[in-house]
Amino acid sequence: MQLETIGFFGILFGVIERFWPVWAALAVVLALSMRYKKRLGLYGHLYDSGVGIAGLTICLFWLFTAIFADTIAPFDPLRQFPVMKDAMPGSIEPESGMAFLFGGDRLARDVFSRMVFGSQIVLVIAPAATLFALMVGTTLGLPAGYYGGRIDSVLSFLANLVLAFPVILLFYLLVTPGIRETSIPQWLAGIFFIFPIIFFSTLFYTRYGGRPRLFAVQLAATLLIGGWIYIGLVFDADPLGIISIRPNELNIFVAVVFASSPGVFRIVRGLVMDIKTRDYVAAAQTRGEGPWYIMLWEVLPNARGPLIVDVCLRIGYTTILLGTLGYFGLGLAPESPDWGTGIKESSRLLRLYIHPALPPVVALMSFVLGLNLLADALREQSLKD
């Protein structure tokens, strides 16, 4: 069956038109940010450099794409249209009269819609897993760098043990289908996901322990919200049915946290070993402040610059890692529209058709580029501070 097609400019203007919610949101956010940048702290300072503006624009583009995916994508990313198998870009689907802007894949699904919905998966898993790794690495890196001695030796040995293990093999062992029937990822999730609760409970205690009523409210909120998220993620037992995670997503989440935490640990440990020699730390010790108060309220705030830069870079690494896992079939479900799976599916016909592979490749590359530019701008700003 011969399909009607639209030309290059039809595809170009069609893509621009589909992204109209993103353009609108970008215009509002960038305009307001530029106007009030002096009041926005570190975020506002990013608008003082071209690199910062470019990085923020790219990252915000994909953020708004994930938010408005239902409006942007013309088709269901999982729906198959038999006549659109391996359709060329711009081919018009006869039933709806709408174009497959980036063509169809080998299973007759719209490549453009799958790229758009793939942003939701990346922008949920990569930042969330990185933040959990930050919690784990920070909670362990603070005492290791501050106390030193045996605590530092034990924690550093464990971190180096994980770092010495081949990363690809480590992910293969944690994400491979044979592991999914075991309880190993769930046990690891049970350990890792408790760290944010410990971190915030300690944070509030060291600051407000002398005000029992206020601390009781903060502790209760931490345990309630943290426990709710914990049972939903680890045991899939959220009584409200709001928080849940699929087994294969949990495996990837745990694998990323497990592999990234030692790197964060070493960065935090090194920063703490340097900062604890500063005069303001000695002044806090002279006032009689406890070690954990000093670590959380004196040392950690002064280490935020390098940590924020590392988080941006680490989200980029995690995005690439998710794409790699998806390409090797160790990521999400085979029908998932994530970018790695899209690259894998299209690579099988790469010699015949290149168009299905380009959108997820460009999407992944541009998002990581935006994060790297953002990290560069943050690094420059931290040096000024």
Neighbours of 165 (CB within 10 A): 14
Neighbours of 122 (CB within 10 A): 24
DSSP sequence for 194-259 = THHHHHHHHHHHHHHTTSHHHHHHHHHHHHHHHHHHHHHHHSS--TTS-----HHHHHHHHHHHHH
Within a domain: residue 183?
A: yes
CATH at residue 233 = 1.10.3720
Please tell me the distance from the alpha carbon of residue 329 to that of residue 331, in angstroms, as a whole number.
Answer: 6
pLDDT in tens, 291-314: 999 999 999 988 888 898 889 888
Q: Kindly report the average pLDDT of the chain as a whole number.
A: 86
Residues of the chain with pLDDT under 50: 180-181
Question: Tokens 């005069």 appear where?
Answer: 279
- Whole-prediction pTM: 0.87
pLDDT in tens, 113-155: 999 999 998 888 889 889 999 999 999 999 999 998 899 999 9
Q: Are residues 65 and 168 in the same domain?
A: no
Within a domain: residue 379?
A: yes
- Nearest by Cα to 48 from 34, 59, 31: 34
Domain count, the chain: 2
Please tell me the distance from the alpha carbon of residue 273 to that of residue 269, in angstroms, as a whole number.
Answer: 6
Q: Are residues 141 and 219 in the same domain?
A: yes
Both structure tokens of 34: 């530029």
The pLDDT value recorded for residue 115 is 92
The pLDDT value recorded for residue 299 is 93
The pLDDT value recorded for residue 353 is 64
Please tell me the distance from the alpha carbon of residue 316 to that of residue 126, in angstroms, as a whole number.
Answer: 8
47 contacts 380 by C-beta, under 8 angstroms: no
Q: Are residues 59 and 100 in the same domain?
A: yes
Q: Are residues 269 and 303 in the same domain?
A: yes
Question: Tokens 């069956």 appear where?
Answer: 1
Q: Are residues 198 and 135 in the same domain?
A: yes
Domain final position from 269, 303, 320: 320
Within a domain: residue 2?
A: no
The pLDDT value recorded for residue 385 is 58
135 contacts 263 by C-beta, under 8 angstroms: no
DSSP sequence for 242-304 = -----HHHHHHHHHHHHHHHHHHHHHHHHHHHHHTTSHHHHHHHHTT--HHHHIIIIIGGGGH
In this structure, the chain runs to a length of: 385
CB-neighbour burial class of residue 299 (10 A; exposed 0-12, middle 13-18, buried 19+): buried
Q: Are residues 112 and 229 in the same domain?
A: no
CB hemisphere CA count around 334 (13 angstroms):
3
Within a domain: residue 328?
A: no
Q: Are residues 222 and 370 in the same domain?
A: no
Q: What type of residue is 253?
A: F
The pLDDT value recorded for residue 180 is 47
The pLDDT value recorded for residue 344 is 77
For residue 382, CA distances in Å to 59, 81, 117, 145, 296 come to: 20, 51, 34, 21, 19
Within a domain: residue 72?
A: yes
Q: Above pLDDT 70, what percent of the chain?
A: 93
At residue 5, the 3 state secondary structure works out as strand
Q: Are residues 115 and 134 in the same domain?
A: no
Q: Are residues 115 and 55 in the same domain?
A: yes
Residues of the domain holding 316:
123-320
Within a domain: residue 331?
A: no
